Structure 1
């Protein structure tokens, strides 16, 4: 540990402050968007955000296609956002380059475990078709692509293929995870995504989310 000779007085204080700021800037490391899960939202904040969402009837599916939500975006040589989420959500993950070829995943929706990446789906918390009916039909494909590849909000989650397909494009009034202990987090994440992207909710959807948040 090195020693530093110190000085007192206003000029020394200013000098120390400037040095500290410089060190802070030099030590900044850009956050890895897919390296860690998005920070949790507390139940009270989620309830407040839910109250700010516009309640509307579900829109039409006219014109909908998953191709209007281009995904998965490239995140490296021969790998994409799917690989990034598999790596983020898995344990003992094995890579070939940046492709995920093995590991262990536990699905929060139903508690099922998998060791083969092909048995794992990357779920869109707010399904693409639901987003389309909630306002995304008015976006351009570039914005819809941002939504479909959003690694900053809790929009993407590695889950069992069976639970993802059972969910389909349903909202929380129509489908909830079999794992009841996950309902609170599920509702908070759903609200966080819809709030950020300014998507609407139906009255039934809002009522279901309110009930789930009350259990937090």
Structure 2
């Protein structure tokens, strides 16, 4: 059961009821206007030690079970919101489509001047979330995860880099820009911990190794 409904187990049921009723948390106009900073390395190591270690199971997975994109602010859906948030000098039209700006991809260090050259990456991929616990969630819970602009879970990156990452976890994929590796794994652990998702043995080992230098 994801931790984002409550930090304490006693309030989990109340949080679940609230999210099933609405997606207000992610429709809020007060959502952060900057990419959230991941937790510190020491916190990430502590969180990682508390995550359940379990084999992954993709039985029944479909991306359609994680509805995207929802309205976040004004006329902006989740993708458009992240495009605005992560870009520089972004100009949008009345439909919130970016018409100009530039985007720096932290995964590979590339800069793009067309929004069509960047994808919105789910840092913890939707399939990975399914494998590690989201299969037991409601559709409303999966929608909230897929559109979370509050945690460091969504960011604009080079499109083909995002495609090459696919649904891989840190045991098999890490950003090619080594300066971002520590940020990436800290964010990964933060998201998994917040949503009470498990890690598989190889994933945990990779995260432990990467976090040792953070």
Same fold (TM over 0.5): yes
Counterpart of 1:124? 122
Larger radius of gyration: 1
Distance 1:180 1:151 in 2: 24
Counterpart of 2:56? 58
Counterpart of 1:73? 70
1:94 aligned onto 2:86? no
Aligned length: 186
| 5+ residue gaps, structure 1 | 1-29
Matched residue SS, 2:119: strand
Alignment map for 1:1-216 (pairs within 5 Å): 32-59=30-57, 61-76=58-73, 78-97=75-94, 98-216=96-214
| 5+ residue gaps, structure 2 | 1-27
Cα deviation, 1:99-126, whole Å, max 9, x if unaligned, reads 2222111111011111111111000010
Cα deviation, 1:60-109, whole Å, max 9, x if unaligned, reads x2221111000110135543011111111110111112322221111110
Q: Which moved more, 1:34-43 or 1:90-99?
A: 34-43
Residues 105 and 156 of structure 2 are in contact (CA less than 8 Å); yes or no, is this contact kept in structure 1? yes
Distance 2:91 2:75 in 1: 15
Distance 2:147 2:49 in 1: 26
Distance 1:164 1:67 in 2: 19
